[in-house]
Amino acid sequence: MSAALLKLGAVLSTMVLISNWMSQNLPALVGLDQHTAAPGTSEKIISVLYPGQDEGWQVYGSAQGRCVCSIKTPVPDACAGDPRHTRLQQISAHVLNVSEHMQLLTRRTAGDLQELRSSETILDTLEKTLTSAQQNPQELSDRSLQELRWSVSQCRPLRVLLTRVRADVAQLDSVRDELQGISVSLSLLQERFTLQHYQQLQQRISILQQHLHSCSSHLGCGQLISISAPLTVRSSGSRFGSWMMETSIESSDNRVWVMDGYLKGRRVLEYPSLQDFASGQNYIVHHLPHAWAGTGHVVFNGSLYYSKHQSSVLVRYGLASGSVLQQRELPDAGFNNTFPYSWGGASDIDLMVDGSGLWAVHSSAGRGGTLLLSRLHPLSLQVLRSWDTGFPKRSAGEAFLICGTLYITDSHLPGAKVAFRFHTHTHTYQYTDIAFHNQYSHISMLDYNPRTRALYTWNNGQQVLYQLTLMHYIHTHTPLTHTHTNDTHA
Ligand SMILES: *[C@@H]1O[C@H](CO)[C@@H](O)[C@H](O)[C@H]1NC(C)=O
Ligand SMILES: *[C@@H]1O[C@H](CO)[C@@H](O)[C@H](O)[C@H]1NC(C)=O
Ligand SMILES: *[C@@H]1O[C@H](CO)[C@@H](O)[C@H](O)[C@H]1NC(C)=O
Ligand SMILES: *[C@@H]1O[C@H](CO)[C@@H](O)[C@H](O)[C@H]1NC(C)=O
């Protein structure tokens, strides 16, 4: 028992070290070495497994030997029969779950903070320019002065934002301290362990989890401002297809699902982890009772959602039960290449998930082919509400959803960018110009996963990930352009 606990302590302190290593991002987190797939190469990524020497502890790491990924609990040892030991093990597992979650959060926050810091520099420069301009007014025209003021006022919400993100970071730090405290308590308690101790620990852990949840909800949503370089996870399958991971935020299911092709396919491959998928090993095959259409499938809370071949019927398939749990027609939705995305491929209906639930992108003749977004009940598949984005569906390359905002790309070909966004909360749209590198020149699937916070794409037979930078959107009470500028020229 004590050996297991000592090991736990070691792993926790490693995690703290890693949490401080700010430059790490998603691929490394899931055990992939990003350096072997620099942008512009199609090199495959190979993950390395470092099995522990004793007690079956296993730590997955990247190729540089940094242990960053997941830890498997040890096999039961000699004192496994002792109920206290079982409880202790449960607590250890809890702490590990929480610390994995925390790591993820720390890294996300760090990314956001870095983005904000550079914005703050811009703000500082602007303000200095403005001050010097005010001191030497004769050197500036009224017009340029007004332009400067406007720029400054545009940047001002960043200050509020920065403060908030800093608070989030502080909160994470306190969660991390708490976690270390629990680790120390565990070490101290290993000799004289009572039910009371156990209850105290349980309480501390549930508080810790509450903190983490509140942190998550702060950090999960934001407005897309940039897309990272692509990371090629694997090259497999045909030119068109789709691959995905569980999207339910509460889940820690790391299986990868692959559905190759867009026409009449029925074979779904299941890989136990992203590492297995990257190296193409350990998969099992499921056969769906109905063929699918397009590439707009999604896995949510243990079910695979897809649209049926040559129909507008949506299917909910239970991955555990291996059976169809629900089928329902999406009313008036075009299918069979009536309103596909720009690349065709029967991509008329695209299912997706954000932090709040299940959605479908589709179109109908009655609406003149504009891209519609409908919120679906995840069990009954009934439409709860629909929005008309006004964007022509056949001109859209792809669409993905982040916290109720739908982002639409203008092409599936090189030069594609995120050109449009539609906010369901306010029923408004904006044109955007967010570039990304379409490395293999033909995107047939693009989906955001709110749990892993990455964009998944199928690009010409390559399975690719992108990371996103999300900006938190702050509503101020007063209109910015007027409050802070007492304009003497007015
Ligand atoms: C840790 O997460 C895994 C995966 O969701 C879950 O099966 C397990 O019950 C969790 N352990 C604890 C103690 O919460
Ligand atoms: C996920 O499924 C479980 C039962 O399988 C259910 O209790 C839970 O509410 C579901 N979660 C969501 C977010 O739908
Ligand atoms: C779907 O399209 C194919 C090819 O255009 C056609 O042969 C088939 O009859 C269509 N099916 C339905 C149900 O419209
Ligand atoms: C500008 O406005 C601020 C706050 O509204 C006020 O405190 C300040 O005196 C004003 N400055 C001038 C030059 O009017």
Across the chain, mean pLDDT equals: 73
Among protein residues, the one with the nearest Cα to ligand 1's atom 4 is: 252
Ligand nearest to the CA of 249: 2
Residue 383: per-residue pLDDT: 98
Q: What is the pLDDT of residues 143-159, one digit of tens each?
A: 666 766 666 666 666 66
Residue 69: per-residue pLDDT: 26
If you measure from the C-alpha of residue 162 to the centroid of ligand 4, how many angstroms do you get, rounded to a whole number? 24
Q: What is the pLDDT of residues 292-345, one digit of tens each?
A: 999 999 999 999 999 999 999 999 999 999 999 999 999 999 999 999 999 999
* pLDDT band, very low/low/confident/very high, at 224 (cuts 50, 70, 90): confident
* pLDDT band, very low/low/confident/very high, at 358 (cuts 50, 70, 90): very high
Backbone angles phi, psi at 265, to 5 degrees: -70, 145
The structure tokens 């992203």 sit at 274
Q: What is the pLDDT of residues 14-70, one digit of tens each?
A: 232 223 222 233 333 334 333 333 332 222 222 222 222 332 222 232 222 222 222
> What is Dmax (Cα atoms) for the chain?
85
Residue from 213, 246, 301, 326 to probe ligand 2 pocket by mutation (most atoms less than 8 Å from CB): 301
Among protein residues, the one with the nearest Cα to ligand 3's atom 6 is: 336
Ligand nearest to the CA of 303: 2
Among protein residues, the one with the nearest Cα to ligand 3's atom 13 is: 310
* pLDDT band, very low/low/confident/very high, at 131 (cuts 50, 70, 90): confident
All domains in the chain, ordered by first residue = 2-220 (no CATH), 226-471 (2.40.128.630)
Ligand nearest to the CA of 251: 1
> CB of 338 closer than 6 A to ligand 3?
no
Query: Which residues contact ligand 2 via a Cβ below 6 A?
Result: 248, 301-302, 378
If you measure from the C-alpha of residue 116 to the centroid of ligand 4, how many angstroms do you get, rounded to a whole number? 27
Comparison of pLDDT for 18 and 280, the residue scoring more: 280
Beta carbons of 221 and 107 less than 8 angstroms apart: no
Among protein residues, the one with the nearest Cα to ligand 3's atom 1 is: 336
Residue 452: per-residue pLDDT: 82
Among protein residues, the one with the nearest Cα to ligand 2's atom 7 is: 301
pLDDT over 80 (residue 170): no
Query: Which residues contact ligand 1 via a Cβ below 6 A?
Result: 90, 93-94, 97, 252
Q: What is the pLDDT of residues 228-265, one digit of tens each?
A: 889 999 999 999 999 999 999 888 889 999 999 999 89
What is the position in ligand 1's atom list of the atom closest to the CA of 93?
Answer: 13
pLDDT over 70 (residue 346): yes
Q: What is the pLDDT of residues 384-435, one digit of tens each?
A: 999 999 999 999 999 999 989 999 999 999 999 999 999 999 999 999 999 9
Query: In whole angstroms, what is the distance from residue 44 CA to residue 54 CA?
Result: 31
* pLDDT band, very low/low/confident/very high, at 476 (cuts 50, 70, 90): very low
What is the position in ligand 3's atom list of the atom closest to the CA of 311?
Answer: 13
What is the position in ligand 1's atom list of the atom closest to the CA of 97?
Answer: 1
Among protein residues, the one with the nearest Cα to ligand 1's atom 7 is: 252
